[in-house]
Structure 1
């Protein structure tokens, strides 16, 4: 498919829609918006503790912009990604939306969102405003589709009460594989299972991905044609998790969120979980906790991360919504500039100036998560890869952690199934590169 044809399609009434033309119109919003009053639909999946901070930001934006009113619609993320393609195709999609970095490729090949190269150029945004890692995560097949709002990696939460009760102080906080195992062995001798291993994606699957990258592995080949998670690096990563269970450092059959509940109840010392747990733990009376970068278990520093990106969904018709497109860019740019305020949701702001500010450094826990940014690895920009991972790799991690199969057996079986699904994706979406 040629470059021009790849960005042309029919709108909900059959008119041709040129995504690049819409993006060029939107770029005009870099100069502000002085037209008649418009109302923008803003869709997100911020259903939890991240919702109030975003609502406060929107209220502030609305106060500061007399001719633009933003209304946020909130849907659970799983439903959000089901809903938005159909809504855009029917001409009833939002003007601005938030998507995770690992969803941009799929949304791009479905023509759900606009390419933003002209928009970011007009706004004067580049890697220097964020970081190379964050900035490049918004690119698919050489075009930009998202502007990063935040980054949310895993970290290692530590229960200080559990450690103190076992006679461990800050000198025992683990930074390496040896430190980690030594602390867990010490805890075990005092009857404490100190690192509960979850069999589900949140958080066992994310722990596995971190360990996979630490061991030098990858999830899929760069072109999206083959699974790679079953190679020796993957076996090594999953074997480490299983060994924590077999050594008695973790209970068997840990249920969904049971690792976090045990942490809150002073029964679990170390928890691999995301930055989104900061506000949850702060709200627990009497909980004594802290956070560290995840320990380096493998040969190199690496940690799973994802990022919320601001996107502009395709609008219906060739000439429809010009004013809203420009107003949408005003809102997008304003939110990006205020990413420090968004850090109140427990996120690491994407903008470099926000991360380097004194105000952010006073956000102790978020600042520790931010230290990991050079080591953050995002899921690959491969259309449909998220669904492939969920139906193959996540099940393999589950089987191995529940001791139903060896790591090698579980990963090999999942890789065969993933390869078949990836072959179907190649026919539907084309290669990632």
Structure 2
């Protein structure tokens, strides 16, 4: 039995209090005289023609603290070699701290010139005027949906304006342990693509004493598995206007019920601790794990581990899989001559990095640029190419300001309680939806006139 304490999330009151504190902190920077972000965006668009001004140093903020840091550092070093009058310096902070620090730094005029943000954070950054609208920038650069995909391009839009240029997409996939499967007499022909196939393989493994698909009670990876299953069942997380939770629909109950079924049938331990599913996978005790593309390089680094990856199985009525995307953004700058020069130089860097997303794919991502995905070089990246097959089925978190905090303090707790068998799926989801509706109502009041 795996210890359950590691899989416990903070209590509801802890997280609900944290949401309020975070929102208050972020709003402090909006009480002063607002900067005309559209005027700054128009200045930045001038960088589409290049930058010929005096030498500038750009600050680039990311949350790439793991195996994705060296590939990005190599790209920056190459950019710096190719540009005499622009030098880029990357600062790295863990994502949880990154989203706390960025708005405060921008409001104090000490923020970065370019940053990376997840698609589900763009709306919050936009309502706080932390980042600039990029419609004029992308128009000047000649970028559009045809350069990426309709889904990826749309993920950068909030309230009719563009705030991000997609750099990559990182969905879930189904990793499988070849050694565990071979030990149970199974080869590639048994790899599951559907609900029926998946359950059949897991039953075969169970009869040989193997718990083959460990279900995590925390966001990584159980929460993301739930969201994928919810969309497969035709459900939604929240209403499009951000007014109410929808994850407690019949689709949500069915999705969470499937996860509970894996536990009750003995295909998963009952109390899986944080990262225990992945540790068991690398120790040849777990056959399958729903995990993100970011694990490719981690699993490659495990000596003797024999593994592969598939698109997630179609458990529900349609193909769908959770995904997120890193977007390049331009934070608001001080209204000075130096700030305006850096805005133009920042667009040079943003455009260059977008054009070189194939090299970035080596960090364990699917490149956003269509040309990169369709290249022979990318097709040789076997695992990344398999993840890319799912792009038409990828569902992104909704573009709702503050929704990430709402989900974390409501839905994530409901999944945690149900997977730990402390509450029935419907009970847990209904309670979380009521709490989410209250938080969403507060968000609508706070952010209705923010732009």
Deviation at 1:316, TM superposition (A): 1.7
State the Cα deviation string for residues 192-246 of structure 1 (Å, max 9, x = none).
0000000000000000000000000000000000000001000000000001000
| CA spacing shift, 1:364–1:431, aligned 2, 3 Å | farther
Do the aligned partners of 1:95 and 1:328 also contact (CA within 8 Å) in 2?
Answer: yes
2:174 corresponds to which residue? 156
**Secondary structure, counterpart of 2:317 in structure 1:** coil
Runs of 4+ in structure 1 over 3 Å off = 9-16
State the Cα deviation string for residues 358-391 of structure 1 (Å, max 9, x = none).
0000000000000000000000000000000000
2:23 corresponds to which residue? none
Partner Cα distance (2:31, 2:314) in 1: 54
1:299-378 superposed matches below 5 A: 299-317=317-335, 321-378=339-396
Matched residue count: 425
1:91 corresponds to which residue? 109
**Secondary structure, counterpart of 2:78 in structure 1:** helix
**Secondary structure, counterpart of 2:57 in structure 1:** strand
1:5 corresponds to which residue? none
**Structure 1, unaligned stretches of length 5 or more?**
1-8
| CA spacing shift, 1:286–1:10, aligned 2, 3 Å | closer
- The yes-or-no answer on 1:216 pairing with 2:234 is yes
| CA spacing shift, 1:28–1:166, aligned 2, 3 Å | same
Deviation at 1:14, TM superposition (A): 6.8
| CA spacing shift, 1:10–1:162, aligned 2, 3 Å | closer
Do the aligned partners of 2:281 and 2:287 also contact (CA within 8 Å) in 1?
Answer: yes
Deviation at 1:12, TM superposition (A): 10
Partner Cα distance (1:346, 1:425) in 2: 34
State the Cα deviation string for residues 56-110 of structure 1 (Å, max 9, x = none).
0000000000000000000000000000000001111100000000000000000
2:71 corresponds to which residue? 53
Partner Cα distance (1:374, 1:106) in 2: 26
Deviation at 1:319, TM superposition (A): 5.3
Partner Cα distance (1:104, 1:52) in 2: 25
**Secondary structure, counterpart of 1:321 in structure 2:** helix
State the Cα deviation string for residues 315-343 of structure 1 (Å, max 9, x = none).
12365511100000000000000000001
Deviation at 1:18, TM superposition (A): 1.1
1:4 corresponds to which residue? none
Do the aligned partners of 2:147 and 2:369 also contact (CA within 8 Å) in 1?
Answer: yes
Deviation at 1:15, TM superposition (A): 6.8
Deviation at 1:296, TM superposition (A): 0.2
Q: TM-score, normalised by structure 1?
A: 0.96
1:177-256 superposed matches below 5 A: 177-256=195-274
Do the aligned partners of 1:223 and 1:432 also contact (CA within 8 Å) in 2?
Answer: no
| CA spacing shift, 1:292–1:17, aligned 2, 3 Å | same
**Structure 2, unaligned stretches of length 5 or more?**
1-26
